Amino acid sequence: MHTIKQQKQGDFIQIQNKYVIVVSYDAFSKDNWESAKSKPNLAKLIENGASTDLVQSVYPTLTYVIHSSYVTGVYPDKHGVFHNNPLQPFVPENDQNWHWFRSDIQVPTIYEAAHKKGLKTAGLLWPVSGKAKIDYNIPEIKAVKNENQALKILKSGSKLFTLAMELKYGKVRQGIEQPYLDDFTTLCAVDTIKNKKPNLLLMHLIDLDDAKHLHGTKSPEIEKVIERMDRRIGDLVQATKEVGIYEETTFIIVGDHSQLDVQYKVYLNRLFYDEGLIYEHNGKLQWRAYIQSAGGSAYLYIQPGDMEAGKLALAILDKALQQGDYGIEAILSTTELKELHVSSQFAYMIEAKEGYAFEDDHLQEAIVDLYALGKKYATHGYLPNKPNYTSNLIISGNHVIAGSDIGEVSVVDIGPTIAYLLNLDFPNTDGRALTEILK
């Protein structure tokens, strides 16, 4: 293993870096940095480690796209997860399947590299990890339509481990409601650290992301969530101390994306419906062109070979862009998308202005003013280079240069850094190991 020398009481001792705990702190972004720094557990990790509020994400800035980049070290055009959801026209959002399964990722992952080396791995509500080769796995997955939630998780994760965690801590959870879901995940993580000592633990905490979506980015609720998150992280640190692995553990706390407050929801498919690009035939909805929304951005789909539909769709979108009311900041074409590492299957994406977000429904009014309805809402999915839209990263452990500034980094650097810490073979990444912060 990669060994680090650390001076203690005048002598050099070797410390093996045996354990890495990755906490994906969903929506933990630059605007939360000052508050987080003042919290006791996060402050201690920052003091003992390296940190930054300048983490650049990938496009679109959606959770499943980003988490796939975390564990592969590559951009979406290589790993193949381009959205939280595969395209499912006219299916209500709550009934849509997501990219829940490892098979949706088209390249090797860091947890497989660890498994290949004989290291123990754990995943707790980690996105795109259903049926993955993870020793202790409770994947993030949801029952849709008539599926049974418990059965779906059991089939997609580690059966005995999942059952044990459910029997011990299931009463804490109340469906997917917060703060109960993240409390459940944290209890499972503490138990796993104490009883399994995984060399690599990946966990996903969602409380902050949920709060921003529901209440906006400036709600008083946000501060309460950050306090809860700090306590959860403190519980993880304490667990490593209780089982004697704290000195050999690296903690990586990382935010996947920011969020922006939204006043207007825009339904571009309504424009397509009004122009006949979405229509009914024999009682069934059909489409020649379709917008798959991603919050702050959207993909344009055209039926293969329908050049006329492509021209009409672009004309409709260009007119909406010129009018300004529809919140379109830009229509991004192939060259721009290639630079952003977007899958080559897409010829066009639409980027929203700040204050606007896109939705799929084709029957809603094209523009809905949320403020007029007394609603607060925030979302993500926007271009990663939007102003003040970066997220946060803390890497803390005995081998990290204390108090160091990581500076500008990318989410694709997470996987290679984990590989370096655990001395894993993990080639062909777009990102790099952040070795400059290590002693």
Distance CA 125, CA 178 (A): 14
Q: Which segments of 125-189 are extended strands (E)?
A: 136-138
Q: What is the pLDDT of residue 16?
A: 52
Q: What is the pLDDT of residue 149?
A: 86
Band (pLDDT 50/70/90 cuts) for residue 335 is very high
CA angle, corner 107, sides to 105 and 112, nearest 5? Answer: 90
Q: What is the pLDDT of residue 148?
A: 87
Distance CA 357, CA 273 (A): 19
pTM of the shown model: 0.95
Q: Which CATH architecture has domain 3-259+388-437?
A: 3-Layer(aba) Sandwich (3.40)
Fold classification of 261-379 (topology level): Gyrase A; domain 2 (3.30.1360)
**Can you say how many angstroms the Cα of residue 232 is from the centroid of all Cα atoms in its chain?**
19
Q: Which of 8-22, 218-232, 275-289, 365-379 has the lowest mean pLDDT?
A: 8-22
108, pLDDT greater than 60: yes
116, pLDDT greater than 90: yes
369-380 in b/e burial notation, b at 16+ Cβ within 10 A?
ebeeeeebbbbb
Answer whether 50's CB lies under 8 Å from 390's CB: no
Ranges of each domain in the chain:
3-259+388-437, 261-379
